[in-house]
Structure 1
Amino acid sequence: MLSKLIIYGVFQGLIVVVSLLTMIYVTKHVSPSEYAIYGVFLSIAALFQPLASFSCERLVQVKKHSLSNDKYQVFIGELIALTAISSFIIAFLCFIYFSLFSTQATTLLIGIFVAFRSLKSFKLFEYNIENRTIKYGLVGLSVKVLAFIFIYVFFEVYSANANYLILSIFIAEVSISLLINNNRVIPFRTINKAQFKPFLKFGLPLVIATIPAWIAHDSGRVILDRFSSAEAGILTFGLQLAGVYMLFNSALGNAVVKDVYLAYESRSLGKVILKITSLQVLVSILFMTVFHYSGDLFLDEKFISVNECFYYLVLGFLIQSFSLVPVYLASYDGKTKFVLKANAFAALAFIFYVLLCLEAITAVTIAQGFLFSMLTYSTVLWFQYFNSASTFTSINKS
């Protein structure tokens, strides 16, 4: 576990550096209002991506771990076919929405964007189970580097605005996804309803959970944009900055996923959970400390007020990260309805908090609501698992 964590950590460290350089460069060239447009695009994409993939990314890990190669190839081919169909429907809906309401032209990119992001995710989860840690890291790093290159070229040659920022991210995601999936075959000629039943059984609760999850995680940017586009831009920047911590959590999750499954099978989860949680808390404290003493060195004056919401967002992400193990177990056992219930409670908590503060809503208000909703989310998810006899037994036998 330690060697994999180190490799993932090195790559995530490089990704953090590139991400911070990108954010510094972008915030020096665009206003918070322009950044809000980018935030709304990301928020809408976050709503549609689970619909495109039917939230089966974790199922890819489970099947790659448990199936023979021949059976897995049939499984992944069917999943990609489903993703292609879902993404086409999303693209069509976005076209209708754009035609009726004349929104940002980048809305038309969302269907393609989520399709290729899903394909990239499937491949990354395969690399994860196959212990191809270097390839996994290179993919993530390549997307960030390529996006930064396009952002720099578009900003310097054409214009520094949200549309070119979105286009840069789009080109990077699509290019890298095509590169790593160049040998994929989509079996359209063999598609039938029966093939999709396992995906629906696993993913339908997660797809339904998309709406409450979106409310708890991403709706804040859209809500705030209705009151103040500048505040929405500050929140978007704060979420990306605080989300740097989640890059570590992603590296940790990739390093321990097989260990979690093996520990669960051998009824020895306790020590694994303790190690994971200790690392999460330690890194979040270190991250906030570094930002406290060095944040002002790279923050542009237009975005300096992000300090007011940053710590709430990091604490929210930390509490969300505590759900790493039960989410893996929910995928392993096929109990995805647990995630649905947790997201529903988190959404209700977020809505309740926002309604209380609606008269004075700011980026800080949304950040506090996010913290409150993530506390609800992790608490409910763990409570459900401690009330599941098999999981409770497996933890206590460690």
Structure 2
Amino acid sequence: MGSDALSFEANVLAEVESRPEGASEKDLAGALGSDGLQEALARLSESGAAEKRDVGGIAMWYPLYKDAIKRVLIVEDDANINNLMRVSLGKGYEFAQSFDGNDALAKVAEFKPDLVLLDLMIPGPNGLEVCAKIKKNPETKGIMVVIVSAADERRNRFISLKEGADYYVKKPFEPKVLRSLVNIFVRKKGKRFDPLVDLPDTERISGEVEHLALESDFEVNNLRISGLRDFIKAYGEEEAEAVARLVSQILQDKAREWRAKKGFVGYIGNGEFIVCGSKNESSIMIEEVVAEFERVLPFIRQPRDISRAAQWRPDAKLDLEYVFGSADKGGFDLGLKVEPIPLERIAKKRGEIISRAGKKEAGDYTLAEIKELFGSSDMELSITRTPDGVKIGLSRGNGEAQ
């Protein structure tokens, strides 16, 4: 490789490292040009200096601690799948393997992993019980837990997130996707990766919509979680955060399945997301997201008097009439609300913002302006990143925190 290519690769790495919360390929091409960019990124990925992850339909690159050796505990009773996970992660890790819940808990204490890949259907204490014990122990709660399971996703993804799991991967998994996720979780520079708030944010949304919204074959939809005020009163903030994480992960999964050329999902805060794409295409995706959320609702709304032991059984069945009857008595109506945003409204709001603040460059909108462009008028949930993690709280109808 010539000196020019080496110099360009160094410049690409410097640009990625200047954006530890993620640099899109469009950002990198805008800063450095597109000639040779993909080749340089491929070499950085191979060397362990950077990692790519498709976030909400946008290809993002994250800088990694290249020489950091991290510990991963793989808990899976099928020896072939256990070994496949190990091979999928590749070099740069110290591994321990476990095939049942009791041994897994012992290895958590002895091996002190940075991350646990955890199946749910394992002998002894099952995966949900293992996850709960890891996250409730002050000495181990900082260990990241990624559930990798083929168990009934409708109930187990939400309950896993409620018990503190950091992410839920469906089987069969893609080895490259699993490797990318683990790399970013344990080796990313800067703030700890959190999938809830690492969907495209205001800066990325600004640039993407600025480029795409002027096209006629394009639509923007606001999607928000409704009914959270009463849900929090009945179930508490931790379970409300699990609901927000569930919606975020459903959106991310659908965005990966979507593979639209110009569609993407973004997070604008306060429990609100935007889904953008070609006409009809993004509407179909939203219908699938809402349908999947509604399939999970019976397990989200299960009464508190159902024993924790019953919740922890990945194959447990619930009396749905009892669940819905109890939820109705609670007086709340949890759901997803979708509001199409006409491009004419976006153009009008954009003109008003520009006239107030002077000429804007693409991607130069503030958070308040993004919410003015794409947000609803009735935000119920405030989700923000703090030095200690993610903070969740209620908002007034005007979006101000209570």
TM category, shorter: 0.3 to 0.5
More helix by share: 1
Larger Rg: 2
Greater RCO (CA < 8 Å, at least 6 residues apart) = 1
**More strand by percentage:** 2
TM-score (ref. length: structure 1):
0.32
